[in-house]
């Protein structure tokens, strides 16, 4: 049976152009069939940190089109015998059947992103990514990338719909600018080496079911100083948003392996939605900062929902570090244009506010540096104010190295020119965690004038036990935070556990 499946897979690959066969990264750790159809198994590098050093490992992924009805998935492990299986997120409760010593089978009742892990190996696991069904038959006047490359600059400017077909394509120079009013479609089976840049544009769509990955490292999609932008469906690397508004990032799957490989960064932007996404990153999976990388101003009205975050390094969620106080230092160090009113900018306080995190599974945090730990971290620096943040229905699986909460007004001198001003009105609601190898959490202000205040924990459950101020078995001389393994430091006011 194994030989038959591999023969079918080889037959599929042989139909692709020679360039696709030689340049698309495949992985033979697994053979995967869905309803008896053999899927292409791709290779994707991930970051394993050991003794402070980064090591690149080759993980795997397949893409599965989002259609209605049950899907029977059969996974054959080509590296040896199966002794243990995990299918995550654990909250999905996906049962499996072990068909033989190296094969498992399970049913997906709906489209979802999952990780199949054999024998506790999280670095050579199988990611199954759902991708949308894209129909080119309804797209009029669309231009293929092969044709687009032959056009002159004037003709390219008139293209409103550009598509990549199945197979391998390379973007010359590794990055391509997308114009206002343009739709870019990356079809299933397409592997595009390169990234797309949306800089100073409006009304842009980047959609599809294929793969978009720059050579070596870099942004898969960069959104800068733009508005009304949609990114949907693709498999990629980093997707940052800076100095922009009205941005939607939906059903996007990203994996990075290199240093500073953040996932969904948001800088000085407003009205941003990140929905139904998967992020496994070699740095923070998601951040919200104010002034940073030449993007100037506050950040507000950010919603992140229905996502899966897996931080091989640093934080799953990180808020507040960068702001206006470090504008000049940051810009000069990066050789970016310095605004004429740079001194005026650096004297201002930015506000990061109205953030909602809802229905999120956190699969991992593995970070040795205590300053950069926290599955849900707010480190407020650079005279920023962080306020009105809601974490609701967050499920954290056992982490290997880190902490649950890291809420501080701080002065990280490596990055910040000043401490933050305040952290106000932070709510953690319906948070569940099963113990792993976490450190104690921390909540701490900077001074009387720069405090953390009004923090609510509503239905915090650790190892099946609800942590609240009215716990019947809590000694009167204990702080409730002790049961949450959380240190309440100085300049912290009004923390309640309900």
pLDDT for the residue numbered 303: 98
Half-sphere exposure of 44 (CA within 13 A, CB side): 31
Residue 288 has pLDDT above 70, yes or no: yes
The full DSSP string for 171-193 is EEEEEEE--TT-EEEE-TTEEEE
**pLDDT tens for residues 306-354?**
999 999 999 999 999 999 999 999 999 999 999 999 999 999 999 999 9
Dihedral sign of CA atoms 282, 389, 252, 174 in order: negative
Tokens of 68: 């209605």
- Give which of 399, 348, 339 is closest to 375, Cα–Cα: 399
- Distances 496 to 354, 421, 433, 444, 462 between C-alpha atoms, Å: 20, 22, 19, 15, 16
Residue 253's SS3 state is strand
Of the pLDDT bands very low, low, confident and very high (cuts 50, 70, 90), residue 436 is: confident
Helix (H) or strand (E) holding 2: helix 2-14
Q: How many Å apart are CA 202 and CA 330, to the nearest integer?
A: 27
Task: With a cut of 60, say whether residue 12 has pLDDT above it.
Answer: no
Q: What is the largest CA-CA distance in the chain?
A: 76
3-state DSSP percent of the chain in helix, strand and coil, to 5: 10, 50, 40
With b for 16 or more beta-carbon neighbours within 10 A and e for fewer, the 426-464 pattern comes to bbbbebbbeeeebbebbbbbbeeebbbbbbbbebbebee
Tokens of 475: 């000694």
Helices then strands, counting H and E runs in the chain, come out as 7, 39
Tokens 């940073």 correspond to: 292
* 140 — pLDDT class (breaks 50, 70, 90): confident
| pLDDT of 20 higher than 70 | no
Q: Using CA atoms, how far apart are residues 389 and 357, in angstroms rounded to an integer?
A: 8
Q: Residue 13: what pLDDT?
A: 45
Question: Residue 219 pLDDT more than 80?
Answer: yes
DSSP 334: T
Give the number of other CB atoms < 10 A from CB of residue 8.
15
CA gap 250, 227 in Å, rounded = 16
Q: Give the whole-angstrom CA distance, residue 86 versus residue 122.
A: 10
Identify the band that residue 22 occupies on the pLDDT scale cut at 50, 70 and 90.
low
Q: What is the mean pLDDT of residues 82-98?
A: 98
Residue for token digits 């199945």? 166
Residue range 234-253, pLDDT digits in tens: 999 999 999 999 999 999 99
Name the more confident of 47 and 140. 47
% of residues, the chain, pLDDT over 70: 95
| C-alpha span between 472 and 485 (Å, rounded) | 18
Q: Tens digit of pLDDT for each residue in 175-218?
A: 999 999 999 999 999 999 999 999 999 999 999 999 999 998 99
Nearest to 404 by CA among 337, 469, 325, 487: 487
From the list 370, 365, 432, 435, the residue with the least C-alpha distance to 406 is 370
65 Cα distance to chain centroid: 21
Q: Which residue has the tokens 């894209």?
A: 134
The 10s digit of each residue's pLDDT in 253-284 is 999 999 999 999 999 999 999 999 999 999 99
Q: In what order do the strands lie in the sheet with 71-77?
A: 37-38, 30-34, 71-77, 103-108, 96-100
Q: Between 473 and 17, name the one with better pLDDT.
A: 473
Q: Tell me what pLDDT residue 1 has.
A: 47
How far apart are the C-alpha atoms of 293 and 223, rounded to whole Å? Answer: 13
Tokens of 479: 């702080």
Helix (H, G, I), strand (E, B) or coil at 6: helix
Residue 300: per-residue pLDDT: 98
What band does 136 get if pLDDT is binned at 50, 70 and 90? low
Q: What is the mean pLDDT of residues 293-318?
A: 98
Mean pLDDT of the chain: 93
Tell whether the model's pLDDT for residue 376 goes beyond 60.
Answer: yes
Whole-angstrom CA distances from 60 to 101, 255, 278, 341, 482 are 20, 11, 15, 48, 41
Would you state the pLDDT for residue 56?
A: 96
């Amino acid at each position: 049976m194994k030989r038959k499946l591999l023969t079918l897979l080889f037959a599929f690959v042989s139909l692709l152009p020679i360039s696709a066969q030689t340049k698309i990264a495949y992985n033979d750790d697994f053979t995967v069939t869905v309803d008896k159809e053999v899927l292409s198994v791709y290779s994707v590098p991930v970051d394993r940190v050991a003794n402070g050093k980064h090591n690149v490992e080759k993980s795997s992924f397949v893409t599965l089109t989002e259609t209605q009805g049950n899907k029977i998935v059969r996974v054959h492990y080509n590296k040896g015998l199966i002794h243990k299986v995990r299918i995550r997120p654990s909250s999905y409760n996906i049962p499996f059947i072990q068909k033989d010593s190296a094969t498992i089978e399970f049913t997906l009742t709906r489209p979802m992103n999952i990780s199949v892990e054999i024998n506790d190996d999280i670095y050579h696991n199988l990611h199954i990514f759902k991708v949308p069904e894209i129909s080119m038959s309804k797209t009029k006047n669309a231009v293929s990338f092969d044709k687009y490359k032959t056009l002159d600059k004037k003709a390219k400017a008139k293209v409103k719909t550009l598509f990549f077909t199945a197979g391998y394509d390379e973007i010359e120079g590794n990055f391509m600018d997308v114009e206002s009013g343009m739709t870019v479609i990356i079809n299933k089976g397409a592997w595009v080496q390169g990234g797309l840049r949306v800089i100073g544009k409006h009304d842009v769509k980047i959609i599809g079911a294929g793969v978009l990955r720059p050579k070596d490292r870099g942004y898969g999609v960069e959104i800068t100083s733009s508005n009304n932008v949609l990114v949907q469906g693709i498999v990629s690397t980093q997707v940052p948003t800076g100095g922009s508004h009205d941005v939607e990032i939906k059903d996007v799957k990203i994996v990075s392996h290199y240093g500073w490989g953040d996932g969904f960064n948001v800088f000085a932007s407003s009205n941003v939605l990140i929905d139904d996404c998967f992020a496994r990153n070699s740095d923070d999976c998601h951040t919200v900062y104010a002034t940073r990388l030449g993007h100037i101003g506050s950040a507000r009205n950010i919603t992140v929902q229905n996502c899966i975050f897996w931080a091989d390094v640093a934080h799953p969620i990180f808020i507040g570090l960068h702001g206006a106080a470090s504008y000049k230092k940051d810009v000069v160090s990066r050789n970016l244009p310095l605004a004429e009113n740079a001194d005026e900018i650096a004297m201002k306080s930015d506000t990061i506010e109205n953030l909602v995190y809802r229905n999120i599974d956190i699969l991992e945090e593995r970070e040795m540096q205590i300053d950069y730990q926290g599955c849900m971290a707010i480190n407020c620096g650079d005279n920023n104010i962080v306020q009105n943040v809601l974490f609701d229905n967050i499920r954290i699986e056992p982490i290997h190295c880190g902490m649950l909460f890291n809420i501080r007004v701080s002065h990280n001198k490596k990055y910040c020119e000043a401490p933050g001003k305040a952290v106000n009105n932070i709510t953690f609601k319906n948070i569940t965690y099963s113990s792993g190898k976490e450190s104690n959490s921390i909540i701490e202000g900077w001074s009387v004038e720069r405090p953390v205040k009004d923090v609510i924990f509503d239905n915090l459950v650790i190892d099946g036990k609800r942590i609240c101020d009215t716990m019947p078995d809590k000694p009167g001389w204990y702080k409730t935070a002790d049961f949450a393994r959380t240190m309440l430091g100085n300049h912290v006011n009004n923390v309640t556990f309900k």
